[in-house]
Homo-oligomer: A and B are copies of this chain.
Amino acid sequence: MNRLETYSQLAIPADSRILYYVIDGLGGVPRIPGGPTELEAAKTRTLDRLVGEGSTGLITPILPGVAPGSGPAHLALFGYDPMETLVGRGVLAALGIGFDLRPGDVAARINFCTVDTTGNVVDRRAGRIDTSVGAPLAERLDAIELDGDVECFVRHVKQYRACVVLRGPGLDGRIADTDPQATGVPAKAPEARHSDAQATAALAAQFIAKAGEHLADQAQANGVLLRGFDTYKPLPSMVDLYGLRPAAVAAYPMYKGVARAVGMDVFAAEDGIDGLAKATRDAAVDHDFVYVHYKTTDSRGEDGDFNAKVKEIETADRVAERLLENDFDVVMVTGDHSTPAAMARHSWHPVPVLISGGPCRANAGGDSFGETDCLQGALGTFPSMDLLPLVLAQAGRIGKFGA
């Protein structure tokens, strides 16, 4: 019996309520050797108080040395083995905007782009056109009809981003990106990465050609680049696996998408303290597991702005204070991955984690929430995918193995 089946069979019902608070890109590294990380430099009164009442540790998102994307990092946080549970970005994008994907659908992300008269891509984001421009263009592409029994849906996401979904028999999403990742060269053809995907790749090529025709009157957004093709295969849901009533509070489509993929009810939040607090209050009414996502810590880390990330972490701390106004029995706080400002990108460094509530052991040292203090935490360093079972155990929701 595999790991997930084991946990599922051991899951037991309980009245306990769980807050699962994910501060994106939380982990960092010092600006100077021996100095504080962003989290250590930030004043985090609420998180530090939770540390004093709980157990801390560090989590490794995927594998040692591997910086994760947000999709697999979140799947690991939700208890899935991220190496065995790849969900393509196209599927996450479609789920993220609430599109009703069906098993077997093939989805891909669309970037509108600018193509010159020789066919070379000159702007991979079509001058970052606004939503007011992008949305009606996506609607135009939704009218595209493809050969055979295949339906084609196009939905706008944000600004220059959209997604396309193909629906029909025998589709296969093992298709390479068409984005050349450079300008002054043509887009790539959508190439099948597996022989079973050749027919679907041909349909993708047909879609791209027809999109070019539909966009021919546009100066900026006159072409499309397709990325993150994938076939939708629903994951075993957290509802079925653990008997939870899980909810997600998130402002950004990607995170809503991952949440829907694992069976959560999604509460769209306005970004910021009040928005997250209000959506969490709503979600907590009828759900016993509430995942809350705080995004902009990661954004400032990606900007390489240490001080701005420190400020965002302090805001995330104030969000925590508001979230705790709801009546949770077990509270977990962590990040999906590290985004050190010093590196201006996702990194592989283990991420601080705290669990408060339920039967907690004392840490060996360290009374604030930070990378160095968490080294002395009672939870040790462990894979992200083991976090959810630990939290469920703390909440009295995992039974005994064997007699």
Contacts and interface: CB of A to CB of B under 8 A. Distances in A.
Contacts of A33: 52-54, 360, 362
Contacts of A3: 63
B29 A62 contact: no
A375 interface: yes
A350 B55 CA distance: 13
A256 interface: no
A361 B29 CA distance: 5
B6 A64 contact: no
Contacts of A366: 364
A340 B7 CA distance: 22
Given A63-B389, A83-B6, A34 B401 contact: no
Most chain B CB within a 10 A radius of its CB, from A10, A89, A228: A10
B380 A359 contact: no
Interface of A is mostly: loop
A67 B34 contact: no
A343 interface: yes
Contacts of A400: 66-69, 345-346
A69 B67 CA distance: 32
A66 B359 contact: no
A398 interface: yes
Interface string A1-43: 1010011001000000000000000000110011101000000
A386 B381 CA distance: 14
A295 interface: no
A385 to B, nearest CB: 9
A82 B364 CA distance: 29
Contacts of A386: 63-65
Contacts of A52: 33-34
A401 B67 contact: yes
A175 to B, nearest CB: 15
16 contacts: A3-B63, A33-B52, A33-B54, A33-B362, A64-B390, A65-B392, A67-B393, A82-B401, A340-B359, A343-B359, A348-B393, A361-B371, A362-B372, A364-B365, A364-B372, A375-B376
Given A66-B398, A347-B393, A380-B380, 15 more contacts: A10-B66, A30-B361, A30-B362, A63-B389, A64-B390, A65-B386, A65-B389, A65-B391, A68-B400, A68-B402, A69-B401, A343-B359, A348-B398, A372-B378, A380-B381
